[in-house]
Structure 1
Amino acid sequence: MLDFIRKRARSAALAASVAALGATAVAAQDIRIGAMREGSSWYVFAATLEQIIEPILGGNSVEVIARGGGVANPMVVQNGKAEIALSNVASAVWASQGADVY
């Protein structure tokens, strides 16, 4: 009976360790925000968003990517080049529905 309890305790400790390592790996992820070229209002908005969320995320770095734009940014997110991107409403809807344009 004591061996059974020890095995269960070891399994629980191992599972907790794996979960903690997985959570740490996710927490250390860099966040990229897709915007338009530097100097545009979209870039200014993305830079402001960066300043707001960076202290909240702690050890994560936040970066603004100045490429794409309203039509291309859904593809930037789809290709994994950014986690967040600014887009036009119509382009975002088309991308989420899988329209032929995307």
Structure 2
Amino acid sequence: MFTYTDHFTFDWPVRVKLPSGGNDEVHEFTGTFMLPADEMEIFEPRKAEDMAEMVTFARERLSKYWVGWSGIAVENGGELPFSEANREKLLRQRAIRIAVDQALTEAVLGIREKN
């Protein structure tokens, strides 16, 4: 039996592409996301005056749905714990923000990027 919940969460792979020696090096972790009540919420049109506003909007939108993770290591050992402050720090990095956005999009819409 299917049980409906307003706050359904799910895990999804997040693939971060970082530049390395003229190529992309892919690193993966598991993101935990909250399913939007309406898929259109993640594609809400928003007019931005400049790139800074676009980035700010993307960070705010992703913060609403990216609610956890596992598999993000820290340099001194162990894993980076989830917190709002750590999430905001990660979303400041373009490569991570793009990877999280792509993971959320492919999970909600069932679309995977072709390699």
Name which one, 1 or 2, has greater alpha-carbon Rg: 1
TM-score computed with the length of structure 1 as normaliser: 0.26
Hey, which of these two has a bigger chunk of helix by percent?
1
TM-score computed with the length of structure 2 as normaliser: 0.24
Hey, which of these two has a bigger chunk of strand by percent?
2
